[in-house]
Structure 1
Amino acid sequence: MAEFKTNVMRILDREGVEYTAHEYPHGKEAVDGVSVAKLLGQNPEYVFKTLVTKGSKDYFVFVVPVADELDLKKCAKSVGEKSVEMIHVKDITKITGYVRGGCSPIGMKKQYKTTFHITAQDIPQIIVSAGKIGYQIDLKPVDLIRLTNGQCADIVKGQ
């Protein structure tokens, strides 16, 4: 891969966190996470997507395996809210600083409370967006959770 650095990569470098950068072919539009895992030749259980919700007053970030779907009731319970709802796609950039398909749990405009699906604790690597469509980073889950002041909870449907 070329020596291209996203802001996420610069943050990881500054924090001394080891990571591997991956690039995948793309157009201008976001590619779904399962397709990204295939393009990278990675196990989809290790590739996570970053989703942003709104509670009664605050925004919350949830990071889950790409093949899974958020359970909004479980999400709300995990952050002490009565309910949370997905933010509108048109608001992603305003809230996070990222575009749809390039949203990373690292380096948002503001650090929101971040919850990872509980499986993140048990996998050897986690792959998330590097903050730009076409780029992913691969790092130890413990480093990502620490860097985002994250917590882990059961937040997906069907488990």
Structure 2
Amino acid sequence: MTPAVQAAKKAGVSFQLHSYDHDPKAESYGLEAAEVLQLPPETVFKTLLALVDEQPVVAMVPVAHQLDLKCLARAHGGKKAAMCPGGKAQRLTGYVLGGISPLGQKKRLPLYLDFSAESHNPIYMSAGRRGLEIAMAPGDLLGLTGGKMVALVRD
């Protein structure tokens, strides 16, 4: 059981786990999850680490979209945002790339969830390892993480 699943269980929120055989050759972990689990891509969210004015933050956007770093910087009250280097993201969260979950991270980081999540219940995200997704209501995710719903992708 991953720290993400443990966090969800401990909080007592409703969730479902979905596992699949991860293909190491997959170009996009999130799109792979959507395809293999036969889920609409707009319901599957990738968990990204970024640095806003050098402070690490978590951003979650639908797998078929790109994170708008300017929107993230604005949402966090900063001036400049950049993607966090992979090694640093792994050290900060305790998860491997492609398996970073917003739940059960080593240290709770500010989390921003793209507002498109409010149109879907549940949303799917990594459960802490490649090939394992956790589904829950967006409100439960925000409650567990102290996150905020904001616009993070360009239309």
TM-score normalised by structure 1 residue count: 0.91
> What is the match of residue 11 of structure 2?
15
Q: Report what 1:83 is aligned to.
A: 80
Give the aligned residue type for 1:55: V
User: Structure 1 residues 52-61 or 109-118, which shifts more?
Assistant: 52-61
Q: Is the 8 A contact 2:4 2:127 kept in 1?
A: yes
DSSP 3-state at the match of 1:45? helix
2:26–2:32 Cα contact (<8 Å) kept: no
Q: Which residue of 1 aligns with 2:126?
A: 129
Match of 1:25 in 2: 21
Question: Is 1:6–2:25 an aligned residue pair?
Answer: no
TM-score using structure 2 length: 0.94
Give 1:6 shift: 1.7
The residue identity in structure 1 corresponding to 2:12 is G
Distance, in Å, in 2 between the alignment partners of 1:9 and 1:92 is 19
Cα deviation digits, residues 94-139 of structure 1 (max 9, x gap): 1111110000111111111100001112212110000011100011
In structure 2, the CA distance between the partners of 1:151 and 1:19, relative to structure 1 (3 Å rule), is same
Kindly tell me: are residues 44 and 79 of structure 1, through their superposed partners in 2, closer, same or farther at Cα, counting changes over 3 Å?
A: same
Alignment coverage as a number of residue pairs? 154
> 1: CA distance between counterparts of 2:115 and 2:100?
20
Instruction: Report the identity percentage.
Output: 36
| Counterpart residue number, 2:57 | 60
More moved, 84-93 vs 62-71: 84-93
* Aligned equivalents of 1:116, 1:68: Cα separation in 2: 13
Matched, 1:72 2:69: yes
Structure 1 residue corresponding to 2:152, chosen from 142, 151, 155: 155
Query: Using the alignment, how far apart are the partners of 2:33 and 2:24 within structure 1?
Result: 14
Residue number in structure 2 paired with 1:141: 138
Q: 1:8 to 1:83 in 2, by over 3 A?
A: same
* Structure 2 Cα separation of the partners of residues 38 and 53 of structure 1: 26
Structural RMSD (CA): 1.4
Query: Distance between the aligned counterparts of 2:9 and 2:26, measured in 1?
Result: 26
Equivalent position amino acid for 1:110 in 2: K
Question: Which portions of structure 1, spanning 4 or more consecutive aligned residues, are displaced by more than 6 angstroms?
Answer: none
